[in-house]
Every structure is written in structure tokens, then in C-alpha cells.
Structure 1
């Protein structure tokens, strides 16, 4: 994944992990009925990557659309 900058602080964000108790990796669930993700070629699930701003704590999630 490429480098990401915080939209508020304009500093380099750090890749991090987002977890929930008893849950493994986070995924985005996609609709397969001709929705936007279907048109982009995303399968039923796409893994998510998290980025955290070390200055303000802003966190962004990005779907890995390459799989």
C-alpha cells in the first residue's frame, strides 16, 4: 500500500492494525448485484488496511482492491 498523509495535519500516517475482541482480520463485505464494488472487480470480501496519524489520532481504513 502506498504512503498516506493525514488530511488534517498533512503528516505521514503510520500503517497500523485495527482489531476487535475475538475477531481476526477486518474485511469489507461487498454486494454482488452490480454495485460499485462489483464493477470495480472486488470479490465478496476485501481486506482492509488501517492508517493512523501520529499527531491527531485520525484513522482511515482502505479496502485492498488488488485481490
Structure 2
């Protein structure tokens, strides 16, 4: 895992900010802004963010 920044654009659109420096995210094909999806547990409130990674 690598530390990165999350940004919001428009109404509710979340993106992970990545640098194209040959790091892990670059090798996984993650662009400068990759969309995120949030998942929420209705029982405990745990929230997780997942990036759409190309294979």
C-alpha cells in the first residue's frame, strides 16, 4: 500500500490522487485521478474506499 490523497469533484465524486513516478500505483495502471467507490456497513458504520484498478 502507498499513502495517497483523496479529492472530491462535483457532487459526490471521489478520486484518489496518484503521481506517475514509477511507483506501485503507476505499475498497477492507476492514472493521476482514479475513481473511488465508498462502501458503508449499515450496522457498525465502517466505511471503506475502493479504487477502480485496470487489470
Aligned residues: 46
Superposition pairs of residues 28-67 of structure 1, within 5 angstroms: 28-66=16-54
TM superposition shift of 1:55: 0.6
Q: Runs in 1 of length 4+ with deviation above 3 angstroms?
A: none
Structure 2 unaligned regions, length at least 5 = 1-7
Relative to the length of structure 2, the TM-score reads 0.73
Higher radius of gyration, 1 or 2: 1
Which structure ranks higher in relative contact order (CA pairs < 8 Å, sequence separation ≥ 6)?
Answer: 1
- Secondary structure of 1:38's partner? helix
Relative to the length of structure 1, the TM-score reads 0.61
Cα distance between partner residues in 2 of 1:42 and 1:61:
15
Cα distance between partner residues in 1 of 2:53 and 2:33:
10
